[in-house]
Structure 1
Amino acid sequence: MLTIDRVSRRFGEVTALEDVSLEIGQGEFFALLGPSGCGKTTLLRILAGFETPDSGTVTLDGADLLAKPPNKRPVNLMFQSYALFPHMTVAKNVAYGLEQEKLDRAEIRHRVGEVLETVGLSDLGGRKPHQLSGGQRQRVALARAIVKRPRLLLLDEPLSALDKKVRADMQLELKRLQHEVGITFVVVTHDQEEAMSLADRIAVFSAGRVCQVDEPVALYERPRTRFVADFVGANNLFEGVFTDGGVKTEAFGLLRGTGQATEGAAALLAVRPEKVRLDAGEGLAGTVADVSFYGGVSHVSVQVAGHPKPVLAAVQGASRVRPGEQVVLGWAPEDAVIINA
């Protein structure tokens, strides 16, 4: 439905986007994930019409989107701050865009009632924004965005203002809403968990470029670059040279894994913490440096001679090991990923 082809945007000497190409399907929940300053919000603003790229094209259903002014695009942007009108009721906030289109009053009433029911705010239509919780204000902003039935809904860090519990609830709510209304969602976030739980596919950005586009599970289990392996979730990275189907390291010899790299070239072996065993019969010997308990999971940091950073292992429940204990770390070769460095 949406095709972004070789889009670049520069601000003076700063390159915000460089040759970005993406294809987003009808009804897809698509996430732009990356650290602050990587260009993801600039791309969102280009789609909304608030920025013009220096080069490249953007088409929606085959038509040139860049040729249309912001108010003529079938696109809505939900701001990070929600940007609700404080002097208007919930119902008036939601109706505002429809009133600007001079729709019939009965039609406006019907569509506002329908969308407030969809977001679970039917009983709060008469309240002002200051009388609502953070989660409720976010629902109002969503209702206002979807009531105009855009082809594309852009969300800029939509859950960043919410606390952890409300954010988890709203992630489920967003996913339900997207399936229910059938609008294509493009969400910008720097929160990996948020992107993984919400999106059908994720584009990982770094320094204005797209590093990898994949479904959440593939992105997590098969990162293709060092940046993706390091940015998306926790990872243990071992540096060496690719040879004989593994990564040959100075400190630990040949470490086997899955994937290919250039023979004789610098390579990385990436192992997720949950794949690391603490009681391996043979492997890397180390000393437990720290144990952190997170309820369902414990993170165990192990200092291994010859490795610059502690190796992280994740174990279910409360860990039985204590700081200072000696352990032997190991993992199955199929659980380790080889990446070109």
Structure 2
Amino acid sequence: MLQITGVSRRFGDVTALADVSLEIRQGEFFALLGPSGCGKTTLLRILAGFESPDSGTVTLDGADLLGQAAHRRPVNLMFQSYALFPHMTVAKNVAYGLERERLSKAEIRDRVGEVLAKVGLEQMAGRRPQQLSGGQRQRVALARAIVKRPRLLLLDEPLSALDKKVRAEMQLELKRLQHEVGITFVVVTHDQEEAMSLADRIAVFNAGRVEQVDEPVALYERPRTPFTAGFVGASNLFAGRACSAGLAADGLGVLPGVSDLPDGTPALLAVRPERLRLDGEQGQGVLRGEVADVSFYGGVSHVSVAVPGRAEPVLVATPGATQVRAGTRVALSWAPGDGALVPQ
């Protein structure tokens, strides 16, 4: 539905976007994920019509999007701050865009009622924004964005103002709503959990470039660049050269992994903390070391293991509370399929 081809944007000496190309499908929940300053919000502003690229094209359903004025585009942007009118009621905030289009009062009333029911705020229609919680204000902003039935809805860090519990609830709400209304959502976030839980596909951005586009599970299980391996989720990264059994790492020997890289290729081996098995010192292990630290997070414990020949500790995630204590000698192992090789 949306085709972005070779889009670049510079601000003086700073390159915000460098030859970005993406395809976003009809009805998809698509996430732009990356650290602050990587160019994802600049791309969102170009789609909304608030910025113009220095080069490149953007088409929506085959028609040129960049040639249309911002208010003429079938695109809506939900701001990070929500930008609600404090002097208007919830219903008036939601109706504002429809009133600007000079629709009949009956149609406005019907569409506002319908969308407030979808976001569960029909009982709050007469309240002002300051009388609502953060989660409720977020729903009003969402209702106002979808009531105009755009082809494409852009969301800039939509949940960043919410606390953790409300945020988790709103992630489910956003996903449900997106399926219900059938609008294509493009969300900008630096929160990996948010991107993973919401998106059908994710584009990982770094310094104005797209590192990898994939479904969440594929992105997590099989990162294709060093940046993706380090940025998406926690990973233990080992440097060395690809070999038939995995990775030949200096000072650590051959570490098990799966790849299609030619032997001798400089590579990183990425192993997720939850894929490592922790055994006593006498157990079978790929690596051996000493427990440096144990942290308990409720559902999971993080165990840091200092391994001779490696500068950084190896992180192991185990379910629930662990009996392992700092100073214990342990053996670490993982299956070859749990190690992903990434060319350096």
Interval of TM-score (by shorter of Structure 1 and Structure 2)? over 0.9
Q: Distance in 2 between matches of 1:190 and 1:256?
A: 31
SS in 2 for 1:150: coil
- The CA deviation at 1:285 is 0.9
Letter in 1 for 2:287: L
Range that drifts further, 163-172 or 291-300 = 291-300
Q: Summarize deviations over 1:161-180 as a string: whole Å, max 9, x none.
A: 00000000000000000000
What's 2:32 paired with? 32
Contact 1:262–1:340 under 8 Å retained in 2: no
Range that drifts further, 272-281 or 97-106 = 272-281
The question of 1:338 aligning with 2:341 is answered yes
Letter in 2 for 1:26: Q
- The CA deviation at 1:252 is 1.2
Q: Summarize deviations over 1:182-220 as a string: whole Å, max 9, x none.
A: 000000000000000000000000000000000000000
What's 2:327 paired with? 324
SS in 2 for 1:299: strand
What's 1:286 paired with? 289
Letter in 2 for 1:315: T
TM-score (normalised: structure 1): 0.99
Runs of at least 4 residues of structure 1 off by over 6 A? none
Match of 2:301 among 295, 298, 303: 298
SS in 1 for 2:278: coil
Q: Distance in 1 between matches of 2:285 and 2:37?
A: 43
The question of 1:312 aligning with 2:327 is answered no
**How many pairs were matched up?**
341
SS in 2 for 1:278: strand
SS in 1 for 2:316: strand
Q: Superposition pairs for residues 107-118 of structure 1, below 5 Å?
A: 107-118=107-118
- The CA deviation at 1:245 is 4.2
TM-score (normalised: structure 2): 0.98
Computed over aligned residues only, the root mean square deviation of the Cα atoms, in angstroms, reads 0.8
Q: Superposition pairs for residues 132-171 of structure 1, below 5 Å?
A: 132-171=132-171
What's 2:215 paired with? 215
The question of 1:46 aligning with 2:46 is answered yes
Contact 1:78–1:142 under 8 Å retained in 2: yes
Q: Distance in 2 between matches of 1:304 and 1:36?
A: 33
Q: Percent identity?
A: 75
SS in 2 for 1:51: coil
The gaps in structure 2 that reach 5 residues or longer are none
Letter in 2 for 1:298: S
SS in 2 for 1:130: helix
Q: Distance in 2 between matches of 1:263 and 1:68?
A: 51
Contact 1:50–1:70 under 8 Å retained in 2: yes
The gaps in structure 1 that reach 5 residues or longer are none
Letter in 1 for 2:116: L
SS in 1 for 2:32: strand
